[in-house]
Amino acid sequence: MPFSKLGLSAKVLAAVKAAGYLAPTPIQEQAIPHVLARRDVLGIAQTGTGKTAAFTLPMLTMLEHGRARARMPRTLILEPTRELAAQVQEAFEKYGAGQKLTVALVIGGVSFDDQDTKLTRGVDVLIATPGRLLDHFERGRLLMSGVELLVIDEADRMLDMGFIPDIERICKLVPFTRQTLFFTATMPPEIRRITEQFLHNPVRVEVSPPATTVATTTQLLAKTGREPHEKRDTLRSLIRSAEGLTNAIIFCNRKREVASLQRSLVRHGFSAIALHGDMDQPSRTAALDQFRKNEVTLLVASDVAARGLDIPAVSHIFNFDVPHHPDDYVHRIGRTGRAGRPGTAITVVAPAEQKNVAAIEKLIGQSIPWMGQPPRPPSQGEQAPSSHRNRHNGQRRHSRESAPRRDQPASRRNDENRSRRVAKPAAQADNGHLPAFLLRPVPAKA
Ligand code: AMP
């Protein structure tokens, strides 16, 4: 079905044309007519499926009529991280260029005053992280009684980050009669409960089964030794030998590891930058911009900081650590193979992490091939720590990263801060055989 048949306004269709989109993606085709018909929508879709436009485009169409009142946003979009919130704002700028809508971003880590000034003037679209939104509300600077449409995006990530109580509170503060659009990549029981409580007779739109990986992504496992320096050696040789690598995101389980790995890569002559939740907002934005503009080749990131980021055409994902929770694997590798492009995701596996791989394979319903000979099963002493094993028994973790938990200093926000001893990388740079594009020097950050 072409875009012109979905019921979008002429202005929005012009913006879609200007964006160069030829046809709606499946989630857009299925969701947009229902959103325009004012139905609640439960969208089960991964990032990379075009879900942002699936709610942005009909919202722009509906917002063409009516005006915003002071302190009373007309629509509210909740995002788990500041980066995702900023990305949705960019989508409104891109698709709403021909309209005079006021869009405000209410996220942690930046000044209250500018946000407050905007809210006072009245906003058509308020994009917020839950903590900062409630802070404004508690200060009496914001009324949610005018919200006609509520979008809850990346709901399963909200769950992982411990935001569900905030979400429930916000759902009770907005009018009962509002329209709700709810997006999640997976459907764990807690999320199902929320949807049953807060959605009214929703249309369910599912573009790929929950917890599946993108078909265009080649997935591989690379074995490494048990010593931390062996992991870094393995990663460097994987990067050097990766076929068709144009840029890559390297995921670590802990923020601390992100910073030290990035410094180590730079010391070894690679062009790398860090992105994790303990960095202040300007540094995060700057890091992301440099990566987007291809000024740096490697982005070393933690899960939450990188979640849902729209970075078109990432050729490779490296999991420096096997994620503790299998859902994270799906989200990480969803950063490549986007919009039908080919991608490669390579997971570095130390002996103690093999158990975590088994849990991932179970979740995605396929086994991931090893590069070279598969390793022997780990001996007793090399098993994953018991805390990780517990998670595989169905326990979910709570907030792991700094994205916007209120009332907590960044350093206490989550367990990515737990220190882990890492061996010092070789002092000698071993960049003799690096291709030129990997060598662009970038000062160590973080
Ligand atoms: P999202 O899943 O919202 O993060 O979108 C993933 C990417 O798909 C973004 O770079 C969008 O610009 C792009 N995109 C969204 N809709 C379309 C479309 N209909 N055709 C082509 N690309 C699209």
Q: Which residue ranges make up each domain of the chain? A: 3-206, 217-384
52 lines ligand 1 (CB under 6 A): yes
10 Å CB burial of residue 391 (0-12, 13-18, 19+) is middle
25 lines ligand 1 (CB under 6 A): yes
CATH code linked to domain 3-206: 3.40.50.300
For residue range 172-199, list pLDDT tens digits in order: 999 999 999 999 988 888 999 999 999 9
For residue range 9-67, list pLDDT tens digits in order: 999 999 999 988 888 989 999 999 999 999 999 999 877 788 999 999 999 999 999 88
Ligand 1 mean position, distance from CA 291 (Å)? 19
First to last CA, the chain: 47
User: pLDDT averaged over the chain?
Assistant: 82
**Measured between alpha carbons, how far is residue 87 from residues 84, 100, 208, 236, 311 in Å?**
5, 19, 23, 31, 10
More confident: 406 or 207: 207
The CATH H-level superfamily of 217-384 is: P-loop containing nucleotide triphosphate hydrolases (3.40.50.300)
Q: Whose CA is nearest to atom 16 of ligand 1?
A: 50
For residue range 83-136, list pLDDT tens digits in order: 899 999 999 999 998 898 999 999 998 889 999 999 999 999 999 999 999 999
Ligand 1 mean position, distance from CA 349 (Å)? 32
Domain 3-206 and domain 217-384, same fold? Reply is yes
Half-sphere exposure of 60 (CA within 13 A, CB side): 28
Tell me the best of 25, 51, 216, 335 to mutate to test the pocket of ligand 1, counting ligand atoms within 8 Å of each CB and taking the most.
25
10 Å CB burial of residue 301 (0-12, 13-18, 19+) is buried
- Residue 99 · residue 64 · CB < 8 Å: yes
Rounded Cα–Cα distance for residues 13 and 378 (Å): 56
